[in-house]
Amino acid sequence: MSPHPRPRTAVIGLGAMGLPMARRLAGELPVSVYDIAADRRAGLTTMGARDAASPAEAVRDADVVVLAVRDQAQVEGALFGENGAAEALRPGTAVILTSTVGPEAARSTAARLAVRGVLTVDAPVSGGPVRAGNGDLLIVVGAEEVALKAARPVLDLLASTLTVVGPRPGDGQAMKAVNQLLAGVHIAAAAEAIALARGLGLDPGAVVDSLKHGAAGSFMFADRGPRMVQTYDDGPEPEVKSRLDIFVKDMGIVTGIAKDAHVPVPLAAAAEQLYLLGERAGLGARDDSSVVTVLSPKSPEGVGR
């Protein structure tokens, strides 16, 4: 049993994943929250969360800190920037790094925190906002036993599948990179399929409905396919559940560490270029399903010919 069955928990970063995770935790634990957007913090106070004005204030009494920011630059700012959390963390506090930042960045962050006696749990998450709010995430963990024990009550509230990959920060990031390779390639393949269907004059919605449960289907085809189809409708754009520029970052991590390991990843490299083209086309802040428009523009010119 953990010595802290209801650990005082801070959540830093209330974006697409951090906000539903904070809601989930606030229903079960004493929680303080910080985000640069004050309205996101305020929305959680009705659930009993404490609104903090800075990362340092959020973690001052915390036993466990959930760091749910976008990239390593934001990790650096939240922990070591002005009014950063590191200056207020007590020795023995466990910092759960849920962001996808790559193995070397996780190891570097853990080393800087260890100097202060702070524990690091490398625990990148997958599953999307809905599953985050339901405690149904896939979480892969790299952490020493003492750190994992301290963080376990929080992780168990967030994950339906928790896999301990290894004993070191960075081990979870390595597994997450493999996950993101598959996810990124599957989204790109779904986009190619729907682009081809449009080029052949097929109804892309019928294509998704027909193929998503067959041998050619995948989770990403079934999940992103309908949103790709919605992209071509006259109604509102698909809800942003996962920004396209997240896959620019994540596929860059995948191809970078693959190069360091001398492992060829030609499909991941091609997918990375597709996301970069999407970002260059101004789609970075839109849902990643919008990448289909790079291959098959919304204009009907040339479609079905």
The pLDDT averaged over each successive group of 10 residues in the chain (305 residues) is 74 96 96 96 93 97 97 97 97 97 98 98 94 96 98 98 97 97 98 98 97 95 97 91 95 98 98 98 97 91 47
pLDDT at site 235? 87
Last residue of a domain, one of 169, 203, 223: 169
Q: Are residues 50 and 147 in the same domain?
A: yes
pTM of the model: 0.90
Beta bridge partners of 126: 138
* 83 and 156, same domain (yes or no): yes
Question: Which backbone phi and psi does 125 adopt, to 5 degrees?
Answer: -115, 155
Is 241 catalytic? The answer is no
pLDDT of residue 2: 44
pLDDT value of position 305: 40
Total count of domains within the chain:
2
pLDDT for residue 304: 46
Catalytic residue chosen out of the listed positions 176, 212, 241, 249? 176
For the stretch 149-182, pLDDT in tens is 999 999 999 999 999 999 999 999 999 999 999 9
Inside any domain, residue 302: no
Domain that holds residue 60: 9-169
Q: Residue 266 CB: number of other CB atoms within 10 A?
A: 8
Q: Are residues 185 and 142 in the same domain?
A: no
| Predicted pLDDT at 5 | 75
Q: Give the CATH number, domain containing residue 160.
A: 3.40.50.720
Q: Domain for residue 1, yes or no?
A: no
